């Protein structure tokens, strides 16, 4: 199928033999093809976005679970009142 711009250019500057009788039908079908391609790309991008959002949600959940298990484990291990042990517990100790 011909490109829409090529078909429109043939209308603006018609060749010596004249414009084809089917040029308007060709423009319509070229437009329909472009719309189908656009819709397919949009659907693909929406699927990618949905997949990325579900992966982000899964990672957030895993990260939160890891954070909570680390915090719970550290608090159970620190039954004494030793200040040195208190400084190394929790999330901040992971970044030292």
- 36 contacts 52 by C-beta, under 8 angstroms: no
- Per-residue confidence (pLDDT) for residue 32, from 0 to 100: 93
Q: Which residues contact 5 (CB under 8 A, 6 or more apart)?
A: none
Domain span at residue 37 reads 1-69
Domain count, the chain: 1
Would you write out the chain's pLDDT as a tens digit for each of its 96 residues? 568 888 888 888 888 888 888 888 988 999 999 999 999 999 999 999 999 999 999 999 999 999 888 865 444 555 555 555 555 567 777 776
Residue 18 maps to a domain? yes
Residue 75 maps to a domain? no
Residue 57 maps to a domain? yes
- Per-residue confidence (pLDDT) for residue 79, from 0 to 100: 53
- Per-residue confidence (pLDDT) for residue 88, from 0 to 100: 57
Residue 91 maps to a domain? no
User: Exposure of 7 by Cβ count < 10 A (0-12 exposed, 13-18 middle, 19+ buried)?
Assistant: buried
Residue 46 maps to a domain? yes
């Amino acid at each position: 199928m011909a490109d829409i711009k090529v078909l429109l250019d043939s209308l603006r500057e018609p060749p010596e033999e004249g414009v084809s009788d089917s040029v308007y039908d060709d423009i319509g079908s070229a437009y329909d093809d472009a719309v189908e391609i656009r819709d397919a790309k949009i659907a693909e991008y929406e699927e990618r976005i949905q997949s990325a959002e579900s992966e982000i949600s899964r990672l957030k959940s895993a990260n939160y679970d890891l954070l909570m298990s680390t915090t719970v484990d550290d608090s159970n291990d620190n039954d004494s009142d030793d200040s040195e042990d208190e400084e190394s517990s929790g999330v901040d100790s992971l970044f030292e």
